[in-house]
Structure 1
Amino acid sequence: MPSTSAVIAIAPEAPTLKAHALLLGRRLDLRSLTHVEPLAMNPLVVRVSGGGRAVLMRYGAAVLFDVAPGAEASFLQLLAPCVREPLATPETETLEIVIDSTRGDLMERDRLVLCDSDAARLQVVADVLGKSVLLADQEAQVARAFDRIDPLAEELHRHGRGARRARHLIRHIGETLLIQHRLVGRAEVGDKPEVIWERPDLERLFLGLEAEFEVRERQVALERKLTLINDTAATLLDLLQTKRSARVEWYITILILIEIVLTLYQLFVRGPGG
């Protein structure tokens, strides 16, 4: 009986790459980054020396794709002069990406499947990861702001009086406005990336990633907390100003009474010609 052999075709393993997002500072001055060649714009995509690509956000985030640790360190050092108000400890986020041309773009458990790694897809992924690390940083700032505002509200509850320094309250209000400016003005959290308008086929990828990282939910929660902090500080500031206004009115009233007493003294005690 002749022998037969069965040939089993084993599908090659799909290539994978790692996305590493970092919030480096409060802003990236990309105009001074003249020594790299852009692969795409809005947001800026550049090639990293040593392999891989990077997507750079003006609000201070950089997302590196398939960049080795040594090449990443060299690239971040190259990028350092462009970072404004650098963070002592950057916020980070990582995501494993599988490139499989036979499948669509979708989240699969804790990793992302992409049909290819073209610049537009990487821009969409970087948009969500960049917003995620920015939200993480702002969430930490809001938590610290709550820790500072809580004793002031407790004092108002227990003793019926607020803070004694308007400067601290104005600083709280300014901090909330600055956080809102970073989220809405610079990062445009809640808006779709510009590449979606040119590539509407990537909208599903964006919405899936946005839901996975809970970008909108975290933004809404932050806005509620910022509103509460702002309202608390504004209320305490209003009480402080009202108290000061009442004090000034009492001073004016006392001065008027003193003036009346002095006038009566001159009229009735010392006499008209005294």
Structure 2
Amino acid sequence: MVKETHTLVAVNIGREIKVRDVAKKILKRRIRIPWEEPLYVRISGTHVMVWAFGSFVAVDPKKGDIEKIIETLKPFTDRFAGGKYREEYRVVFTEKLPEEGDEDELEYGFVIDEDECYILDSFEKKYVLKIIGYVLAQSVALERIEGFVDKIMEQSLIILNNLQKGLWFRLKPAISRLAQVMTMRIELLSDLMILTKPSVAWESEELEMLYEAIRDFYEIEDRFEAVDRELESVQELSSIATDIMLASRETILEFLIVLLIVVEILLIVIYG
């Protein structure tokens, strides 16, 4: 028998949401919370969990609520990216689990499905929503980074192809690309904390297993490793392009020096 059903909608709107400023504006008080912890607020009558790494999760939003939440948080967002990175998932609290679930999951009191998960009513609901919300928030943040990496990889390949064709390229774009990659790797490794287990997952073995199962379902670790490898590749491509351009500049400089010496010798010969 189903006891409760909740719909979670996760959205990533940028690199960082300044949660302290959000708390000061909406809650009318100063607050200090760890980076991996969400700020709980009500926006447009909807319960919202806001993470500093640019994502929020709305619990049971009504039509139009997501857009209102995005507009409310936009002034507090660094590198605003709109609301195109979204994920929706249903959480069903029930007295009895579907029998066709995975044996390990059934043993720990939950069943993960494609669009929803079934969880025994004995679980602490606030912990369940926080854990699933956290993974959804990471997933949409990863989606934004994946899009950035694909774009920057294409740009890096264009630079290299043009260098192979002997076309001149300014040094600044390649150096800028390197800086972007380094910044993104810091965000990926530090800000998203993909490799760090949230404190709520330590509350019980069942919650820890739920956290790991949701992470596996959204392939968080696999996606993280794939993005990190691509960022390494882009970093190498940008370094190669920078080295080639620097070498080209040195060659041109050496040629100009030799040319000046030749001109000077010719002038001495001509004018004695």
Contact map agreement 1:45 1:119 (CA 8 A) in 2: no
**What is the deviation of 1:102?**
5.0
Contact map agreement 1:45 1:53 (CA 8 A) in 2: no
C-alpha distance in structure 1 between counterparts of 2:186 and 2:75, whole Å: 23
State the structure with more CA Rg. 1
Check if 1:57 corresponds to 2:24.
no
- The structure 2 residue matched to 1:229, chosen from 234, 247, 250, is 234
Q: How does 1:71-90 map to 2 (within 5 A)?
A: 72-90=66-84
Q: How does 1:105-116 map to 2 (within 5 A)?
A: 105-115=110-120, 116=123
C-alpha distance in structure 1 between counterparts of 2:90 and 2:56, whole Å: 16
C-alpha distance in structure 2 between counterparts of 1:88 and 1:45, whole Å: 20
Unpaired runs of 5+ residues, structure 2, are 98-108
Per the alignment, residue 205 of structure 1 pairs with 210
- The structure 2 residue matched to 1:27, chosen from 16, 32, 36, is 16
Specify whether residues 48 and 67 from structure 1 end up closer, same or farther in structure 2 by C-alpha distance, changes over 3 A only. Answer: farther
Partner secondary structure for residue 10 of structure 2: strand
Contact map agreement 1:48 1:67 (CA 8 A) in 2: no
Percent identity of the aligned residues?
A: 20
Specify whether residues 193 and 218 from structure 1 end up closer, same or farther in structure 2 by C-alpha distance, changes over 3 A only. Answer: same
Please report the TM-score for the alignment, with normalisation by the length of structure 1: 0.80
Specify whether residues 27 and 208 from structure 1 end up closer, same or farther in structure 2 by C-alpha distance, changes over 3 A only. Answer: same
Per the alignment, residue 221 of structure 2 pairs with 216
**What is the deviation of 1:63?**
0.8
C-alpha distance in structure 1 between counterparts of 2:199 and 2:168, whole Å: 45
Please report the TM-score for the alignment, with normalisation by the length of structure 2: 0.80
**What is the deviation of 1:239?**
0.7
**What is the deviation of 1:199?**
4.7
Check if 1:69 corresponds to 2:63.
yes
Letter in 1 for 2:150: A
Aligned residues: 253
Specify whether residues 149 and 136 from structure 1 end up closer, same or farther in structure 2 by C-alpha distance, changes over 3 A only. Answer: same
Letter in 1 for 2:191: R
Letter in 2 for 1:150: L
Partner secondary structure for residue 95 of structure 1: strand
**What is the alpha-carbon root mean square deviation over aligned residues?**
2.8
Contact map agreement 1:106 1:205 (CA 8 A) in 2: no
Specify whether residues 225 and 162 from structure 1 end up closer, same or farther in structure 2 by C-alpha distance, changes over 3 A only. Answer: farther
**What is the deviation of 1:229?**
1.3
**What is the deviation of 1:256?**
3.3
**What is the deviation of 1:175?**
1.9
C-alpha distance in structure 1 between counterparts of 2:225 and 2:186, whole Å: 15
How far does the alpha carbon of each residue in 1:7-62 deviate from its partner, in whole angstroms, 9 at most, with x for none? xxxxx433211010011222111112133389x97512425367653221101100
Partner secondary structure for residue 13 of structure 2: strand
- The structure 2 residue matched to 1:179, chosen from 180, 184, 187, is 184
Per the alignment, residue 89 of structure 2 pairs with 95
C-alpha distance in structure 2 between counterparts of 1:106 and 1:186, whole Å: 30
Unpaired runs of 5+ residues, structure 1, are 1-11
Contact map agreement 1:152 1:162 (CA 8 A) in 2: no
Once structures 1 and 2 are overlaid, which stretch shifts more, 162-171 or 23-32?
162-171
Per the alignment, residue 137 of structure 1 pairs with 144
